[in-house]
Amino acid sequence: MSALLNPAQREAIRYLDGPLLVLAGAGSGKTRVITQKIAYLIGECGFNPANIAAITFTNKAAREMQERVGQLLGSRPVGLTLSTFHALGVRILREEAKALGYKPQFSIFDATDCYGMLADLSGSVDKATIRRLQGQISNWKNALISPDEASKTAVDDMGKLAAQAYAGYAATLRAYQAVDFDDLIALPVDLFRQHPEVLDKWQNRLRYLLIDEYQDTNACQYQLLRLLAGPRAAFTAVGDDDQAIYGWRGADVENLRGLPRDYPNLKLIKLEQNYRSTARILKAANVLIGHNAKLFDKKLWSDLGQGDPISVTACRDNEKEAEQVAMKLQAHRFEHRARFSDYAILYRGNFQARALEQQLRDQRVPYLLSGGQSFFDKTEIKDITAYLRLMSNTDDDPAFIRAVTTPRRGVGGSTLEALGKYAGERHLSLFAAAGEVGFAQRVQPRQLTPLSEFRHFISSLIQRAANDSAGDVIADLLAAIGYESWLYGEEERRVAQTRWENVLELKDWLTRKGDEEKKSLLELTQMIALINMLDKQEDGSRPDAVQLSTLHAAKGLEFKHVFLIGVEEGVLPHRESLDPVKLEEERRLMYVGITRAQRSLHISYAEKRKQGRELIPCEPSRFINEMGKEDLRFSGGKADAVPDKATGAARLEAMRAMLAGK
Residues involved in catalysis: 30-31, 212-213, 243, 596
Q: Which of 185, 133, 143 is nearest to 164 (CA)?
A: 133
Please give the Cα distance from 169 to 163 (Å, whole number).
10
Q: In what order do the strands lie in the sheet with 310-315?
A: 367-369, 546-550, 343-347, 559-564, 597-606, 310-315, 632-636
CA 299 from centroid of its chain's CA atoms: 29
Query: Exposed/middle/buried for 293, CB within 10 Å: 0-12, 13-18, 19+?
Result: exposed
Q: In what order do the strands lie in the sheet with 52-56?
A: 81-84, 52-56, 208-211, 235-239, 20-24, 267-271
Cα angle for residues 165, 169, 171 (degrees, 5° grid): 125
Please give the Cα distance from 19 to 229 (Å, whole number).
9
Helix, strand, coil share (%) of the chain residues, nearest 5: 55, 15, 30
Please give the Cα distance from 115 to 207 (Å, whole number).
38
Q: Which residues contact 563 (CB under 8 A, 6 or more apart)?
A: 325, 328, 329, 343, 344, 345, 346, 602, 603, 604
Please give the Cα distance from 111 to 194 (Å, whole number).
28
Task: Say how many residues make up the chain.
Answer: 662
With beta carbons less than 8 A apart as the criterion, state whether 257 and 603 touch. no
Please give the Cα distance from 317 to 637 (Å, whole number).
10
Q: Is the peptide bond before 104 cis (omega within 30 degrees of 0)?
A: no
Q: How many helices (H) and strands (E) does the chain have?
A: 29, 17
| Cα dihedral sign, 259-261-266-268 | positive
